[in-house]
Amino acid sequence: MQRRIDRKRLVLALAIAWTATTFQLSAAPKAVTLRLGTLAPRGTSYHKSLMFMREQWLKASQNTVRLTVFSDGTQGSEADMVGLMQTGNLDAGMLTAVGLAEIERAITALQNMPMSFRSLTEVDYVGAKLQPQLEQRLLAKGYIVLFWSDSGWVRFFSKKPMVRPDDLRKFKLFSWAGDVRSYDLWKASGYNPVALETAGIAQGLMSDTINVVPLPPFFALAGQLYDQTPYMLELNWAPLVGATVVRKSSWERIPADLRTALLQIAAETGRQIKTDGRAESDAAVAAMVKRGLTVTPVTPAIEAEWRAAVDAVRDQIRERMVPADMYDEAQRHLKEFRAARPAASK
């Protein structure tokens, strides 16, 4: 009789233990994996920052939010990555304004206004003014901004010396594939754009399909393009601005109580990428000069020629490259900044 009672107690205890264990397992948060694509090469500061964000997310979520980063453009062009996000095959992307414009054209106001910004301080000011409403526009399209960033100034790298706008007309200019509006405007203005993916730049230079490339110095150094383009015009053409975005539906798979902490980590990552990117662009020029790069300084007279060339198509930039309302707002903020801080814009 005692054995029967003990056996019943044992069965009851095991049943309770099994039920408790099952409840704990079912109540434990499920792991969420987000897949992020980027053109950033593996091993660069951009890639390392994303890896650091991944580790911080793991730590903050107790290993339940995992970020898989596909670097080196393995997911295709930025337009391809946006397409993959739209179909759910990617959850997130670190994109420049070219890729972001596939989602929301208004973002071009941060980048596609050549010779508009006179300093990176102006870039920061206008960005701070425009980004909140740009985030709302992206949200309306189903995307959440994790962070904004930039890589400093785009400069012209060429196979032969190139100083003035009329010189550029004699060159074959790299134009980002998919950015049809920029391509058409270059073409209509008497230049010779050649549409290529970024992955095709090196081969395009080797085959002389292109012989001048506008890009930040850091990317010229990272891609070892200085061997084929040993001349750089020290003209601050435009900032290379971007953001890392995630599909809203993917983000909402993360438990709500974790999202604020993860966004804070992402924002700090963006600040670090911007700081590093700007510093590395300056350091990249010095490093390439040691390897034979010739830097052509821009005199006030030469800068005036470039401004005149841009002014001649300013109305087309406003309508065709940047939506008119956002273009006007960006220009209004620039005027405000310069009126309040004239010294900072010089």
Which structural domain, as residue segments, surrounds residue 185?
A: 30-345
The tokens describing 221, both together, are 């150094």
pLDDT at 23 over 80: no
Residues in the chain: 346
pLDDT at 97 over 70: yes
Q: Is residue 19 part of a domain?
A: no
Evaluate the CA torsion angle 245, 250, 251, 254 in order and state its sign: negative
CA-CA distance, 306 to 316, in Å (whole number)? 16
Q: Count structural domains, the chain.
A: 1
Q: Where are the beta strands (DSSP E) in 63-200?
A: 65-70, 92-96, 143-158, 173-176, 193-196
Q: Is residue 291 part of a domain?
A: yes
Nearest to 94 by CA among 246, 280, 218, 200: 246
Q: pLDDT confidence of 24, banded at 50, 70, 90?
A: very low
Average pLDDT over residues 278-291: 94
Q: Is residue 12 part of a domain?
A: no
Token pair 């100083």 is at which residue?
163
Write the single-letter amino acid at 206: M
Q: Is residue 11 part of a domain?
A: no
Predicted confidence (pLDDT) per residue in 179-214, tens digit: 899 999 999 999 999 999 988 999 999 999 999 999
Q: The domain spanning residue 57 has which CATH number?
A: 3.40.190.170
According to the model, what pLDDT value does residue 341 have? 84
Q: Is residue 182 part of a domain?
A: yes
Q: Is residue 10 part of a domain?
A: no
pLDDT at 273 over 50: yes
Quote the pTM value: 0.88
pLDDT at 284 over 80: yes
CA-CA distance, 245 to 82, in Å (whole number)? 10
Predicted confidence (pLDDT) per residue in 115-152, tens digit: 999 999 999 999 999 999 999 999 999 999 999 999 99
Q: Is residue 109 part of a domain?
A: yes
CA-CA distance, 189 to 214, in Å (whole number)? 17
Using an 8 Å Cβ cutoff, are 303 and 293 in contact? no
Q: Is residue 271 part of a domain?
A: yes
Using an 8 Å Cβ cutoff, are 113 and 107 in contact? no
Using an 8 Å Cβ cutoff, are 76 and 84 in contact? yes
Nearest 5°: the CA angle 210, 228, 99 is 55
Using an 8 Å Cβ cutoff, are 175 and 112 in contact? no
The tokens describing 305, both together, are 């020629």
According to the model, what pLDDT value does residue 30 have? 84
pLDDT at 69 over 90: yes
According to the model, what pLDDT value does residue 178 have? 81
CA-CA distance, 25 to 46, in Å (whole number)? 37
Q: How far is CA 190 from CA 98, 161, 237, 309, in A?
A: 22, 19, 18, 11
Q: How far is CA 298 from CA 96, 237, 292, 295, in A?
A: 26, 11, 19, 10
- Please tell me the number of Cα atoms within 13 Å of 274 on its side-chain side: 22
According to the model, what pLDDT value does residue 346 have? 54
Predicted confidence (pLDDT) per residue in 153-178, tens digit: 999 999 999 999 999 999 999 999 88
CA-CA distance, 289 to 80, in Å (whole number)? 35
Which range has highest mean pLDDT (8-17, 276-285, 302-311)? Answer: 302-311
pLDDT at 94 over 90: yes
